[in-house]
Amino acid sequence: MDFQGGETLLFNKPKGWTSFDVVKKIRNTIKIKKVGHAGTLDPLATGLLILCTGKHTKRISQIQEQEKVYRVLFRLGATTPSYDAEFPPENLKDTSHIRQSDVVEILPQFRGNIKQIPPLYSAVKVKGQRAYKAARAGKSLELKPRIVSVYEFALEAWESPESVQALVRCSKGTYIRSLIRDVGQTLGVGAYILELERIQIGEFLLADAWKIEDFVREFKS
């Protein structure tokens, strides 16, 4: 591979890694500085992360604009401050009355062009400061709603209200955590993400991605 000339690399980001952790690891492996990622994944999320090296870094903005596909496992009947499993669940609610059909019935209202408020624990900037930094410092911020596009939002599996799986195909800038929060609010019981995996960006597929340890083994000098 010609990393200096430019490569577009697909990786399966492990849980617990930041997107920059992956960039740093690959930089140290291939020994060039010009490496960037095309679309951040939350540390607790897994799945497709695209890195560009050398002259291919010019393609990053083009890749970022493409639609994304996620598989999400979530729980109804509780919330967390981050809308995912980073914090212990709180505001526990009875979900014995919630049926699979109740969730299916409300999903159409979350498709199309929708208004969405980003999570407080996110990288959105407010007055020059990252929202998650302000949140961790105990500061209160008012995040403004933005318009995002959700092309597909479909239930894939239902074990119980505490284990619901869905597929989401959406535009750049869509927060799946906010989407699940809004589902929980609409049902009146709260919701948060248990697991989130990005499986596609445009025509790039997770199935074609490197495991980081395999890449390092192959190209470490």
Q: What kind and span of H or E run contains 36?
A: strand 35-37
* Cβ atoms of residues 135 and 155 within 8 Å: no
Among residues 143, 174, 1, the alpha carbon closest in space to that of 72 is found at 174
- Closest alpha carbon to 166 in 158, 142, 174, 87: 158
**Measured between alpha carbons, how far is residue 23 from residues 6, 48, 159 in Å?**
15, 13, 37
Among 64, 89, 65, 67, which Cα is nearest to 79's?
89
Amino acid at 218: E
Angle 141-130-45 (CA atoms, 0-180°, nearest 5)? 105
Please give the Cα distance from 198 to 40 (Å, whole number). 11
Token readout for 154 is 């479909």
- Alpha carbons 1 and 15: distance in angstroms, whole number: 27
Active-site residue, from 42, 94, 102, 214: 42
182 flagged as catalytic? no
Active-site annotation, residues: 42
